[in-house]
Structure 1
Amino acid sequence: EGRGKLERIEVTARKTVESLQETPVAITSIGASELSEKGISVLTEVQQFSPNTTLQASRGTNSTLTAFIRGMGQQDPLWGYEPGVGIYVDDVYIARPQGAVLDLLDVQRIEVLRGPQGTLYGKNTIGGAVKYVTKEMTGDPQLNAEVTIGNYNRRDVKFTGQYPIMEDKVYLGFGYANLNRDGYGEFLVSALDGQDTENYNKDLWAARLTLEIHPTDDFFIRFGWDKTEDKSNAKGGYRLLPSLLTDAPSPDSVYDSYTSLPTNNKVELEGYSWMARYDVSDSLEVKYIGSHREGYSPTNIDFDNTQLDIFDVPAIYEDENDTHELQVNYVSQSFSLVSGLYYYDGESCGVFDAVLGVLGRTYGALGIFPEDTTGFSRETSGCNNSESWAAYSQLNYDINDKWSISLGARFTDEEKQATVNNGTVLYNLYPESGWIDGYVRPDDVNIPQVLGTDTDGDGILDAPAVESWSRFTPRVGVEYQYADNIMFFASYAQGFKSGTFNPRAETNEPGVAPEVVDSFELGMKSDLTDQFRMNITLFSYDHKDRQYIGIEGNSDDPTALQQRLRNAAETAAKGAEVEMTYVVNDALSFDLAYGYIDFEIKENNAIPPLIGLASTPENTLNLAANYLLQTNWGDFIFNANYYFRDDYLLFETSDLIKQDAYGMVNLSVNWESMEGNWYGGLHVKNLTDEEYLVGGYDFVTRNDDGTYGAGLGGDTTLIGYYGDPRTVQLTVGYRF
């Protein structure tokens, strides 16, 4: 029996094509074949294979992403807040978390870059970056049709392909996916009749068109369009405590819920991108990448998850942005240089109502509000717009056969404009006259602007607040090639998360400065034999000027949330990441990915104070095995993996909701015909049906005796959202 060998994996972590083992960056790369073999169909599943990584669907929708790498990210998806992990599709930045839970379509590989990427990728990559790379076309006519069925009445269809419009010159690529699944649970009681009661269902379609043009051997142009529409229901959370105000005990299933809001929800995304690449010579490449993206997400989030309007939050998110990047890459025998100019212009707006109907009626009965009050809402709306440009360069220089250095820097200049309208709406007709397309927003009430500028001196804010920040982010690295297949590296890198304004501001408060991360890494990339690969990274970082919403002062006003955004904390962490592959022979291989992080709070002025990291276990572990069986009926590939996540908090400032350590088992068997046209796969995910939290809300108080009391809205609103239960899926495909 032959002895298998390790494969060469190419990545673009440093914006040029390099071998994974020659790239001095902590990176996990998962190729198309591996994604298919494991039945990975959505971006969040990639977290299992990258140490110290959290990629999860957020609280209220299927398509909003919560991303943390090495404990750095952003949990709140409200407009104005910037992510801490950058998401890129073919080097185009996805600026907002809405819709960033990407369903994988025509993907070549997923790359997870861990640690600050402030030099080459810029702001909002303090934790790292996730790169979604689609396949370049070969020019041959191709069509791939794929059908997936599974439990919970899963029914997916995908079509991808390409066609040469002009031989060797112009190719058209296309992809379409229609993804449907019944809910894992249901809304047991709803205040509204005639609506869909499925909870955690899926109803999504996505399409992509790509036009590639090769005018000459040295010139390449690509145009892309993509659109996604997710009409899955708004997710209802699981009540961890019975309601004090109505008959809403904790349901039997963690996927069941109650609601007083419409269940309709939508995440709609559309984007255009274009890229031109010109090889001036064998050494010099010039590239231009541009994009325009728009997003629209009307959603209904029932915070309290009862059939009463205790704490309901209907909301609308809207955003659009344009990006332009001019890149120049030079490669010689002893050095390479990546440099570029980048421009970003984005608008992010929204409106939400914190509907506290029961509390409004209570205060009406007590005479605090007018007697005919049937509820009140705290409505917040506004925009947080950003315009920034950056210049960057990174030099990689070989001093001799053993030693090399990398020097990089980026200068970013950014201006933000923000408006916030925030005020109380009392109403006496709820919800019959208050619903506008499923959204509470009485149009006869003026909501005052509380954040901005007064341009004419009449005491009324009538223009946006404006602030600007600039930042120089360096990177210095040294690499030592100990042997042909063993490299050691050390680096210092800085990243920053953009300054911003408080999107929930109640007063005309100033903006907050950017968060800054200084990170040190020491690592080894090694193919110790032709069959054994071991990559190790040790890291430490200091995270300064962390942005937190705090409660400023106390008030008896039941409508005042009194939230103020400040640079309120400094934290630090150190840890390790180990990735190993052992190829036993041509048929059998094993993989291991382990992550460890140790967290420290250095300055703690957050209100309430920080107590830990959000959504970040101290230990993560993945063990995987892969076996190839060749037969006269085709090739069978069996794989299994065990994924472990240590216990973790859901919020950095609260231990009211936390997840105990758990392990998950996934099994797959794949088949490909001898001719290579037919293929199929049977995948069992979460075999032992583990229940694990991925989000929540904790508007509740805890008494000295350990019991719980009412929080905002007057009820025990302690809510959990859960990851997928055990699923079974069968995929069959044909390549024409």
Structure 2
Amino acid sequence: MAFRALFLAGASLLALPTLAAPNAPAPAAAAEPAADAVTQPKADQGEILVTARRRAESAQKVPIALTVLSAATLNDAGAFNVNRMQQLQPSLQFYSSNPRNSAINIRGLGAPFGLTNDGIEQGVGFYLDGVYIGRIGASTFDFVDVDRVEVLRGPQGTLYGKNTTAGAVNVTTRAPSFTPEARVEASYGNYNFLQVKASASTGLVDDKLAVRLSTSYTRRDGTIYDTKSDQDLHRLQNFGFRGQLLWKPTDNLSLNLAGDYNVQNPLCCVQYYARVGATQRPVARQYAALAAAFGYTPPSTDPFNRVTDLDASINSRQAIGGTSLVANWDIGPATITSVSAWRYWDWKPANDRDFTGLPITTVSQNPSHQTQESQELRIASNGSNKLDYTAGLFYFHQKINTNGSQVQGSAASRFLLSGADANNPNVLNGLTSTNTINFNNSSFAVFGKLNWEVLPKLRIQPGLRVNYDKKSGYYNAVVSIANSQYNFVATADNVAALRAAAAATSAAALTTFTNQTNTLAPQRYSPEFSQWNVSGDVTASYDFSSDIHGYATYARSFKSGGINLSGLPLNSQNTGVDLTTQTVKPEKENHYEIGLKTQFADRRITLNLAAFWTDIKDYQATVNNNAINVIRGYLANAAKVRVRGIEWDSSFRPTPRLSLYVNGAYTDAKYIDFKNAPCPPELTGGTALTVNPDGTFSGTPSPAGTAGGNSPPYCNISGQVLPGVSKWSFSYGAEVNQPSSVFGHAGEFYLGYDGSYRTRFSSNPSPSAYTYINGYALSNIRLGFRTDNGWNIFGWVRNALDKHYFELLSVQSGSTGLIVGQPADPRTYGVTVAAKF
């Protein structure tokens, strides 16, 4: 009801000028809505207009570290989703073991690294035509008719509806046009890759009503062969559709009604044997001995043979869609904007969580359905010599319902347990956890930013945000088993009675029951979190000349606290869950940044620099309780994290025949204070040392990888690197062209190259010698001919050198020492034909 009231209020307010001011003068801006205004780079100036500060202005004059990726840039690189976009933007990181378990980070910050927890808050905002997308998984669709993508680095809470502490990715699609136009593009490549994109737009009623329809279809065979199912995995099968209706009842009012639907049905996402490392388990209980006991060998120990033998169902189907109404009312000195939206995300997965052909975990899935409603009401000045402003209200409500299950197989006892129970497959065979998870998230904010020219060329831009978040959840796990030896149903209500009955039977029965309920724990809890916070920033910018602009920013930002909805760790007595871990504190961030934006040689050379330092208190991280049979971790706070670095974007156009670019980032991201972190795999699996009342532990941990050694209950990883962050990363490229004509069609031949490089990075929340991913360089090449009248045909090769590298590495649960990986795409090649009419 609250959303409906806000929706109607916003729409009604912006409909007023239809009656009150039918003859109002036309605004000075062009006819298209201000929020969509953009110009492509000019051949001599390279100027790009963006809407990063909620008004159209030159990207070079915006005192924010940002990168603009045009539709042409995205198409040339084959970057048709956010995953592929990271090769073009060194400060952007995207990680995904499947769409739900995805994270977008900027400068190493954003979301905790590891399996997704429904109760987390993302630190990077993802926006589609001004609509905030509440889950990163719901942003993994193929781009449909995109005009540009803006990547804003650093806190953005005083300009954008949802508070974002790490940055924002702002996707803008092409707006409806009153002039008839059409675009079509078709690509075909190896692995039977086929991608078709089409869009059309036209005016309908006397330049008052325009429509735009867009669609995209992508398919590709899988790149990994599964010997068990005799099918290729990691395929692509995506379809997307988007429709927009633009109504301009008067010259100063526009309303854009949009709807989109996307469905993806890939057989992904697969991780399998990458390497084996030594843990502190006894030798007989590490991976090599366990596999030998079952007579098992993986189909290949070279992961880049791209073959696996997963024995569980694999799927990653998702449907994404929604509607939005964006209204812009130019009232002369300012423009009022309303963004009303409803979106949904339906997720139906299946995974092989043990990553092998053995029946350890035979089912692991968390089907989820999310709906979100949002309303943003904003006013922004239309430009002043002395004072500009933006102010807004934002409301967001989200619901997630998840009904998951996990089932252990006949090999689970040997892999996960010790003692006599390890030799009895019935102890865990068929052990099932059925999980019901509900999440409600409401957020309300008032935000604003001023842009005040206090002196000629000097501007001060303070911003303020008052934010309220309320989150509530419900988690209920019912554990059952039914085989020839064991049969019970354990809930949070009866688990104590069942434990007492087992203890009354025998010590062995109690041990078995404890092993079963430690592997999959029956528990029920209802966490809640609510908090007001105030954040803000201030930027000072100075125009040294018309082409040289500097700025300095300080921001005090918050990322909302969270609730744990993937199950809680057991208490120190292993008799129940630790309810003190239900909620996670908010992250508190102090951010400092200086930047310089420059253009030289008649704007044929652009060089932008930014240096930043960010301190985060109570950093939200994924941890575990170090039990060897734990599958999923939970959220907790690291006391302090620091991220600092330097970035640059540069482009060069020495002649109309040649263009080059080099972008780079140096990022130093470390845990400053994280004394109770989970240990890396080489320090787990042995005899657990006892934790003393004061938090210390008794005994001396064994050296890493000591079979049968003593394992610390937690590790101090202060001073070590954050996961997923390369210290150095680059993107670079060039294009050369030569005017010519083909069959009487004037145009140009061109040869383009796009490359990227990143140094090694950790792929585990606690750095491990086994889970570092080595640095790698990628090369993409294109060669084609484009005409002056809109035709473009080119051949392309991506990952041209067929570089073998992992997108991520993970640790098999149970401290067996098995490290599994998700390989990136091999070399692909094909041809694209595109036309504009």
Same fold (TM over 0.5): yes
Alignment counterpart, residue 593 of structure 1, candidates 640, 660, 663: 663
In structure 2, what is the Cα distance between the partners aligned to 1:546 and 1:364? 35
Alignment counterpart, residue 378 of structure 2, candidates 327, 338, 345: 327
Cα deviation, residue 234, structure 1 = 2.4
Q: 1:455 — aligned with what?
A: none
Alpha carbons of structure 1 residues 523 and 186: separation in structure 2 relative to 1, 3 Å: same
**In the alignment, is the contact (CA less than 8 A) between 1:422 and 1:504 conserved in 2?**
no
Q: 1:167 — aligned with what?
A: 206
| Cα shift readout 1:514-558 (whole Å, capped 9, x = no counterpart) | 112211001101112312111000100101111234444x77xx7
Alpha carbons of structure 1 residues 360 and 620: separation in structure 2 relative to 1, 3 Å: closer
| Paired positions, count | 689
After alignment, is 308-317 or 133-142 more displaced?
A: 308-317
| Cα shift readout 1:33-63 (whole Å, capped 9, x = no counterpart) | 222333332222222222322134x1135x8
Larger radius of gyration: 2
3-state SS, counterpart of residue 563 of structure 2: coil
Q: 2:482 — aligned with what?
A: 427
3-state SS, counterpart of residue 73 of structure 1: coil
Cα deviation, residue 470, structure 1 = 1.5
Q: 2:596 — aligned with what?
A: 524
- Pair 1:495-2:557 in alignment: yes
**In the alignment, is the contact (CA less than 8 A) between 1:172 and 1:209 conserved in 2?**
yes
- Pair 1:618-2:657 in alignment: no
- Pair 1:474-2:536 in alignment: yes
Within 5 Å, give how 1:28-47 maps onto structure 2.
28-47=67-86
Alignment counterpart, residue 454 of structure 2, candidates 385, 390, 399: 399
Cα deviation, residue 31, structure 1 = 1.1
**In the alignment, is the contact (CA less than 8 A) between 1:397 and 1:405 conserved in 2?**
yes
Structure with the higher helix share, 1 or 2? 2
Within 5 Å, give how 1:632-651 maps onto structure 2.
632-633=741-742, 634-651=747-764
Q: Which runs of no fewer than 5 residues in structure 2 stay unpaired? A: 1-41, 277-286, 495-521, 569-576, 679-714
| Cα shift readout 1:280-331 (whole Å, capped 9, x = no counterpart) | 11x2110100111111111112122222221342221221110000001113
Within 5 Å, give how 1:575-586 maps onto structure 2.
575-586=645-656
In structure 1, what is the Cα distance between the partners aligned to 2:587 and 2:450? 26
- Pair 1:668-2:782 in alignment: yes
Q: 1:60 — aligned with what?
A: 98
**In the alignment, is the contact (CA less than 8 A) between 1:84 and 1:128 conserved in 2?**
yes
3-state SS, counterpart of residue 152 of structure 1: coil
In structure 2, what is the Cα distance between the partners aligned to 1:449 and 1:681? 65
**In the alignment, is the contact (CA less than 8 A) between 1:157 and 1:178 conserved in 2?**
yes
Alpha carbons of structure 1 residues 559 and 593: separation in structure 2 relative to 1, 3 Å: closer
| Cα shift readout 1:333-363 (whole Å, capped 9, x = no counterpart) | 2111000000000012323334332355557
In structure 2, what is the Cα distance between the partners aligned to 1:461 and 1:32? 49
In structure 2, what is the Cα distance between the partners aligned to 1:418 and 1:15? 34
- Pair 1:210-2:323 in alignment: no
**In the alignment, is the contact (CA less than 8 A) between 2:359 and 2:412 conserved in 1?**
no
In structure 2, what is the Cα distance between the partners aligned to 1:522 and 1:372? 60
Alignment counterpart, residue 657 of structure 1, candidates 771, 778, 787: 771
* One-letter identity of the residue aligned with 1:533: T
In structure 2, what is the Cα distance between the partners aligned to 1:337 and 1:471? 22
Q: 2:497 — aligned with what?
A: none
| Cα shift readout 1:193-226 (whole Å, capped 9, x = no counterpart) | xxx7211110111111111111111000001111
Within 5 Å, give how 1:70-85 maps onto structure 2.
70-74=107-111, 75=113, 76-85=115-124
- Pair 1:631-2:756 in alignment: no
Q: 1:390 — aligned with what?
A: 445
Cα deviation, residue 99, structure 1 = 3.4
* One-letter identity of the residue aligned with 2:771: I
Alpha carbons of structure 1 residues 462 and 378: separation in structure 2 relative to 1, 3 Å: closer
In structure 1, what is the Cα distance between the partners aligned to 2:673 and 2:349? 36
Cα deviation, residue 595, structure 1 = 0.3
Alpha carbons of structure 1 residues 109 and 513: separation in structure 2 relative to 1, 3 Å: same
In structure 2, what is the Cα distance between the partners aligned to 1:232 and 1:378? 26
Q: With the length of structure 1 as denominator, give the TM-score of the two structures.
A: 0.88
Structure with the higher strand share, 1 or 2? 1
**In the alignment, is the contact (CA less than 8 A) between 1:79 and 1:317 conserved in 2?**
no
Alignment counterpart, residue 94 of structure 1, candidates 124, 133, 146: 133
Query: Aligned-residue CA RMSD in angstroms?
Result: 2.7
Cα deviation, residue 94, structure 1 = 1.0
Alpha carbons of structure 1 residues 563 and 297: separation in structure 2 relative to 1, 3 Å: closer
In structure 2, what is the Cα distance between the partners aligned to 1:449 and 1:669? 67
In structure 2, what is the Cα distance between the partners aligned to 1:661 and 1:461? 42
In structure 1, what is the Cα distance between the partners aligned to 2:818 and 2:585? 33
Alpha carbons of structure 1 residues 300 and 371: separation in structure 2 relative to 1, 3 Å: closer
**In the alignment, is the contact (CA less than 8 A) between 2:162 and 2:394 conserved in 1?**
no
Q: 1:340 — aligned with what?
A: 392
* One-letter identity of the residue aligned with 2:97: R
**In the alignment, is the contact (CA less than 8 A) between 1:64 and 1:100 conserved in 2?**
no
After alignment, is 376-385 or 389-398 more displaced?
A: 376-385
Alpha carbons of structure 1 residues 124 and 722: separation in structure 2 relative to 1, 3 Å: farther
Within 5 Å, give how 1:226-625 maps onto structure 2.
226-241=260-275, 244-245=290-291, 246-254=296-304, 255-281=306-332, 283-311=333-361, 312-330=363-381, 331-358=383-410, 360=412, 366=420, 374-428=429-483, 447-448=491-492, 464-506=526-568, 507=577, 508-509=579-580, 510-530=582-602, 531-552=604-625, 565-608=635-678, 609=715, 610=717, 611-625=720-734
- Pair 1:138-2:177 in alignment: yes
Q: 2:259 — aligned with what?
A: 225
3-state SS, counterpart of residue 235 of structure 1: coil
Q: Which runs of no fewer than 5 residues in structure 1 stay unpaired? A: 191-195, 431-441, 451-459, 701-709
Alpha carbons of structure 1 residues 273 and 341: separation in structure 2 relative to 1, 3 Å: same
In structure 1, what is the Cα distance between the partners aligned to 2:426 and 2:808? 38
After alignment, is 367-376 or 537-546 more displaced?
A: 367-376
In structure 2, what is the Cα distance between the partners aligned to 1:688 and 1:350? 42
In structure 1, what is the Cα distance between the partners aligned to 2:319 and 2:325? 21
* One-letter identity of the residue aligned with 2:445: A
Cα deviation, residue 505, structure 1 = 2.9
Q: With the length of structure 2 as denominator, give the TM-score of the two structures.
A: 0.78
